[in-house]
Structure 1
Amino acid sequence: MQFGGVDHGNDFTDDRLRKIAKKLGYNHSSIHNLCSTWLVNPHDSVKIANLTTTIGKHFLKYEFGHNVPGIEDLPDIGEWPKWWRDVTSLYAAEIAINHIYSSTLGHQHQSNALDHASFSPESVWNAWHIHCLHNAEYFAKFEHRDELQEFLKHPRQDRVKKMIDASSRDMVLFEVLNEYEKIQMNNATPNGKIVVRDYVRALAWRKAYSAIGAINLD
């Protein structure tokens, strides 16, 4: 079993999750920052999902708001990264995974290959699954959104010119596909020339250009 491991809290978060797990009668092995991707057998994935749903409902009903002891000073939605309602599913899944695998779970079950950060400078072949995170790094969700919104402000002819002149980004995708074919056909060793950040950026802009080209923005 392997789980994505990306920080989405701090010491306050970790301590509070352990206390809530204990309050609800669940075991917690102090393995924190388990992320969205679970590489487990299908039977276990159903167990994790069901327990995550049960715990998540408790969180949404009882663990946020000014009346909750310990977080009286926080807004109802919480405060990132201290205690944040929008990642309830991650909090609930952490408790569920720690409980279900309480006798075997360890840090060795957290993998950097899963939920690999989209702004990573590592080789794309080190990432089994890429997670576009919320932060100020490039490539991250809001950074790309802001850049895309700025692009849409340009005159139509400038947008078209930039969409046509996308050869450098297309070459990134071509290199990845070419290397993939070599790996599949010839059992070649990846050389890792393309990094995750450049691959995700090229892919996102290619998708954006396709979407923009399919509609009449004027």
Structure 2
Amino acid sequence: MGHGKCLYASMYGIAYRSDLDTFPTPGLLGYWPDTVLANKNSAYTFRNSSGTSLITEKLKKAAEYVGLSHKGIHDIGSSWFGPAHLIIKLSSMAVVLSKYLRVYMFGPGSFCRCATCTELPLECTWGSGPYAGTILLYAQELAINQIWDKNQYDSLNKVNVDASTTTDESVCANLHLHVFHGSDRFSKFEFVDGRYKEFNMTGLKLSKARDFAIFLALKSSGQGIGEQEVSARYSIGGDGSLANVCKMDADISSL
């Protein structure tokens, strides 16, 4: 296994770790970061006005318990993009740490799992305190604290990883879109419920994050109407390439 990890790291210079409900964008083409990029505004710790929360304190103590450093870096998104050897290292650490956190924070005898409880304490539900459903985010936080320093964290002023699919922001100003919870277009819940089956795509401008996401989702699933017209307008051929959508929209706007 160790040999395999070294082989993968040598074969690929850049790697991505991401959730399934995401879309890569044309902005990825030719982009070669020399450090790990991630969204630092995920807000899963629900900190109060003083900047602290039960979650942040639990995670700091969890790191201390196993002798890891915690630099106070919280609320990091679930997607990472950067040098392959660092992404592999972070991913391996997160897998191990998630097993540890499942016992330390949510195992028998822990604050969130008492012997006489019939349901989760309010402090251990989403939005109120440590929540077992987001243990991956917690494990990734401990891992990223071993890789990043404060300068790297401070340098990430732009949210170009895990960007939203509900905005008119340029899709090519971002590297990667993440479909978050919600009903605003593009919504994964509306998509699963079949609400976009009759959606007319002909007015979509694919250089916009929202329109890019809905086109990609509907085209790949055979939903919606007007796909052929949009594909013809952007010269999207049999290979499905969307690499030139930003340039083409810029050219169209200049006419």
The TM-score with structure 2 as length reference comes to 0.58
What aligned pairs does 1:143-158 form with structure 2 within 5 A after superposition? 143-146=190-193, 148=194
1:80 paired residue among 126, 144, 152: 126
Q: CA deviation at 1:123?
A: 1.7
Q: Cα deviations across residues 33-67 of structure 1 (Å, max 9, x unaligned)?
A: 11122222111112111211111111123312573
Aligned residue for 1:201?
Answer: 214
Aligned residue for 1:101?
Answer: 148
**3-state SS in 2 of match to 1:55:** helix
Q: CA deviation at 1:102?
A: 4.2
1:94 is matched by which residue type in structure 2?
E
Change (3 A) 1:84 1:70: closer
Aligned residue for 2:39?
Answer: 4
Contact kept in structure 2, 1:116 and 1:131, CA below 8 Å: yes
* Structure 1 unpaired stretches of 5+: 152-158, 177-193, 212-218
2:162 paired residue among 99, 105, 115: 115
Q: CA deviation at 1:101?
A: 2.8
Contact kept in structure 1, 2:101 and 2:135, CA below 8 Å: yes
Aligned residue for 1:60?
Answer: 102
Contact kept in structure 2, 1:31 and 1:105, CA below 8 Å: no
Aligned residue for 2:91?
Answer: 49
Contact kept in structure 1, 2:106 and 2:112, CA below 8 Å: no
1:89 paired residue among 118, 121, 136: 136
1:31 is matched by which residue type in structure 2?
I
* Structure 2 unpaired stretches of 5+: 1-34, 48-52, 225-255
Range with bigger deviation, 85-94 or 57-66: 57-66
Change (3 A) 1:75 1:62: same
1:27 equivalenced with 2:69 (yes/no) = yes
What aligned pairs does 1:128-167 form with structure 2 within 5 A after superposition? 128-146=175-193, 148=194, 162=198, 166=200
Alignment size in residue pairs:
176
Q: From the two aligned structures, give the one with the greater helix fraction.
A: 1
Identity %: 23
How far, CA to CA, are the matches of 2:183 and 2:130 in structure 1?
A: 19
Aligned CA-pair RMSD = 3.0
1:30 is matched by which residue type in structure 2?
G
Contact kept in structure 2, 1:52 and 1:93, CA below 8 Å: yes
